[in-house]
Chains A and B, each alone.
Chain A
Amino acid sequence: MQWQIKENETLKEKVYFMPIEGGPELYVLPKKEYNKKYAIFSTRFGSIDNTFRVAGNGGEKITLPDGVAHFLEHKLFDDEKGNVFDRFAEYGASPNAFTSFTLTTYLFSCTDFFDENFKLLLEFVQSPYFTEESVSKEQGIIQQEINMYQDNPDWRVFFNLLAALFKDHPVRNDIAGTSESISMITKDILYKCYHTFYHPGNMAIFVIGNVEPSNIYEQVTESLSNRTFPPFENMGRVYPREKAAVNEKKVVQELAVSQPIFNMGFKDTYSFLEGRELLARELATELLLEMIFGRSEQLFTHLYEEGLIDERFDAGYTAETSYGYTLMGGETNDPEKLHQELLSGIRNFKKEGLRKESFERHKRKMRGEFLRSFNSLEFIANNYLAYRFRKIEFFDILDVLEKITLDDLQKRLFEHLDEDLSAVSIINPFKQ
């Protein structure tokens, strides 16, 4: 086995990749000057993977209650002896995990006892232990997590918008599920999903900090040698055929807030892009949004001085293989007026075109921001795998960014920022 080394001259970073037979993919990025060592173990199993076919059962189609990936993430921390937090604590590490739409990640950071902590990470992620009792206990905890988010207006305005944009795609559902859906989760469902999605062939590891690649590789292979796996067969993920049109144009909810919160979204066409093509689309759309809604643009100053937005107003784009959307908004005293102003801002750009000067400036800024974020080990590791799971080489960002042209943006402006494919979500204060 040979390390494949990917080096980036501009970033001055070098990542070691080891293609382990049967998985998981292993990446190591040595950063000698840092005290912290950070390791993540991720699987391609997120909240949207709720329907799939497994080869073993004659192609039987399985549909899960919402929230299984997240529930499993919570329960994997258990083993026969209790939970693994105590054992990470013995080695001074800080463990955690998170579940997104498309992946689940287990992680720790530490300064001392790296080998012990890393072994523990490999061990607990590969050792499921679920009982009826522990599942039922977790339902109480996750119920409180759901309740917390029910009271969080930023979270609600976001998921209400996704449900307005998407009619069938599971990205419209809360990652943690609902009270009802989590009550249907059993230990059998967890085991079934574990054996389907936690096969090493579906997983990847990224380690960063003052570490030796060879030492990491030895630990990973040793942990795999104790186990046997059937050959990895990709489970057939089934996503419903989502229509181009939005589900609802507007959704409104009342919560205990001081003033309305407004989000507007644009639904992307169903593309199945991946790799550099998907990355190019992501970067072009981000640049486009910066050129229209960025803090250095006239529209932002206008809306701010009118008191329609505050400085946290933001616009961003999310690009996955099976869905994509632009989202913008923030707190406002007049959602209707803000909505009209944003649409008319977009129309102006369609009429007058995008300016070269602004394009170059935003590109320069994006380059600098990307570089700056490389101060954070967590940022590098988490993003590297998240991009990798979309078949994108993270270090390619600077290169792909350079190649984006004003014409690409002009095209995205008309194709993506289409009023017909937009929806709004508003949280209003309760009427007194």
Chain B
Amino acid sequence: MITLDSKTLLDNIRIHLFPTTKFKTVLVSVFINQVLERELAAQTALLPAVLERGTREYPSFRDLKIRLEELFGAELGADVVKKGERHILSFSLEVANNKFAPGENLLKQGLTLLKNLISDPFLENGVFKRDYVRQEKEQLAKEIRGLVNDKVSYAIERCVQEMCPNERYGVFKYGSVDDLDIISEESLYSYYQSLLRENPIDVFVVGEIDADETFSLLEDTFNFYREKTTSKLPPVEVYNTPVEVRYREEALPINQGKLTLGYRTNTSYQDDDYFSLLLYNGILGAFPHSKLFQNVREKASLAYYAFSRLEKHKGVQLIGSGIEIENYQQALEIIQEQVELIKQGNISSEEMENTKRGLINQYNVLGDSPYSLVNFFLDGVIGGREEGVDYFINKIEGIKKDDVVEASNKVFLDTIYFLHSRDGEGGEQS
């Protein structure tokens, strides 16, 4: 396992370095942490697209891409990530190791571009360029409307929205089309400046690097003004016992019904029994040997996919399956029966052991991809866990069946969302 080499405060920016010779590239990831909020979501989501349009030195998207191609196809980009009730503005740079490009310092040249992207955007009259903002608002509106195009993600997202209408977690990661109208190039720019000044920033570097040299390069990259203390983000709402189950349905002209169940686990990533919940979710639906796959798919032949997944920061569990519309009742019964079985302690020792091994395998391979390594430590930052992979593996090994049953009995069904077809007719080819 690759371990953290150093961690230092630099104008309230936390730097995490992972020197390793394993990879052919160096990855630099920057995360600006923001609260997920209805009023802010569209603005936060718009920022990466506008920033990617150009910098002072490379004023257009095209100029930037040409420069990146000269650097052996280096990757540079910005994005937004939703983790629980956090909305994270992310930047990343990936360059080939210097040894693959003799005579060049690709990391140094790449960091100059990253610096330009973050803190030296292309401006017009002291704010973002009007055309860029207008075009990106249109693109983002299309992206938001385009959620429906992928029915699997659409069904999951719609279930979350119905489940959390009055919680931050119910906000879509791209915000809503209505909120785009009021954004101007001035308001967006000043919002971005406040993020750079006040919000928590974490930087991760993975690859064949010299810690001292990289640290001084990063000092130069992040030399913009920061407040002495970073803004404190509100805690995530996790604990919630639903009074009754919400039933929601929606019709679209489609072939396959999508059944989605949203549960409150009442366990957060920080809680001691998080690992029991992880086991619970694994036994229920995270693997091909799990109860959902074995019973909904293998035994009843009702579905091609049937899974459960945890949103660890929010403590929400989602079950999803694509089924024949008329099989709704049967599929729902089988799914709920699997949940009940675990709550009653009906877990075989094979299920316990196999799920532990499957989970441990997932943690063991984290360090084999620079992106999953960074994501694991970002989860730690967001969810307030500083421990490394070995701690996780140790904890998982120690979980007993009773722990799983205990964690499962804090899990409550909140919302059943069914996406189906109005008249049972699908898309016909013309």
Contacts and interface: CB of A to CB of B under 8 A. Distances in A.
A138 B21 CA distance: 45
B96 A86 contact: no
A383 interface: no
Interface residues of B, number: 75
B146 A295 contact: no
Contacts of A35: 1, 364-365, 367-368
A147 B146 contact: no
Interface in B184-239: none
A295 B61 contact: yes
B105 interface: no
Given A138-B301, A151-B254, A374-B24, 10 more contacts: A36-B368, A88-B289, A111-B361, A151-B426, A258-B149, A295-B65, A304-B135, A307-B135, A371-B96, A372-B25
Interface stretch (B37-45, B352-360, B404-412): B352-360
B302 A144 contact: yes
B138 interface: yes
A148 interface: yes
A90 B360 CA distance: 12
Interface of B: 1, 20-25, 60-62, 65-66, 68-75, 94, 96, 100, 131, 135, 138-139, 142-143, 145-152, 252-256, 287-289, 293, 297-298, 301-305, 322-324, 350, 353-355, 357-358, 360-361, 364-365, 367-370, 426-430
Most buried by A among B72, B135, B302: B72
A235 to B, nearest CB: 30
A111 B23 CA distance: 18
A225 interface: no
A372 B94 contact: yes
Interface in A318-356: 331, 333
Interface string A242-269: 0000000001111111110100000000
Contacts of B353: 90
B254 A297 contact: no
A148 B358 contact: no
A254 B357 contact: no
Contacts of B350: 86, 89-90
A294 B25 CA distance: 23
Interface of A: 10, 33-36, 83, 85-86, 88-95, 109-112, 137-142, 144-145, 147-148, 150-154, 156, 160, 251-259, 261, 294-298, 300-301, 304-305, 307, 310-311, 331, 333, 361-362, 364-369, 371-372, 374-377, 430
B398 to A, nearest CB: 17
A412 B139 CA distance: 33
A310 B68 CA distance: 20
20 contacts: A33-B21, A88-B288, A90-B353, A111-B365, A112-B361, A141-B297, A141-B304, A145-B304, A148-B322, A156-B427, A257-B146, A258-B142, A259-B142, A296-B62, A304-B61, A311-B139, A331-B146, A364-B70, A375-B370, A430-B253
A152 B427 contact: no
A365 B138 contact: no
Contacts of B288: 85, 88-89, 95
A180 B99 CA distance: 56
Nearest to B323: A144
Nearest to A374: B24
Which 8 A-B residue pairs are closest in the complex by CB-CB distance? A92-B357, A368-B72, A140-B301, A368-B73, A365-B73, A296-B65, A89-B354, A89-B289
B58 to A, nearest CB: 11
Contacts of B297: 141
A366 B73 contact: yes
Contacts of B94: 372
Given A110-B361, A151-B254, A256-B427, A375 B304 contact: no
A304 to B, nearest CB: 7
Nearest to A91: B357
A137 B294 CA distance: 13
Contacts of A300: 62
Contact of A150 (B149, B255, B301, B364): B255
B52 to A, nearest CB: 8
Contact of A376 (B70, B100, B138, B369): B369
A361 B72 CA distance: 8
- Looking at B252, B303, B357, the one whose CB has the most chain A CB atoms below 10 A away is B357
A305 B133 CA distance: 11
A353 to B, nearest CB: 19
A89 B73 contact: no
Contact of A331 (B69, B71, B142, B370): B142
Given A148-B304, A295-B65, A36 B289 contact: no
Nearest to A369: B73
Contact of A361 (B69, B75, B96, B150): B69
Nearest to B70: A361
B22 to A, nearest CB: 4
A259 B145 contact: yes
B368 A34 contact: yes
A86 B73 contact: no
A243 to B, nearest CB: 23
Interface centre among A148, A153, A305, A310 (most CB of B within 10 A): A148
A41 to B, nearest CB: 17
A95 B367 CA distance: 20
Contact of B357 (A90, A251, A296): A90
A256 B66 contact: no
A147 B149 contact: no
Contacts of B149: 153-154, 257-258, 261, 331
Contacts of B21: 33
Contacts of A110: 361
Contacts of B75: 372
A111 B429 CA distance: 46
Contacts of A86: 289, 350, 354
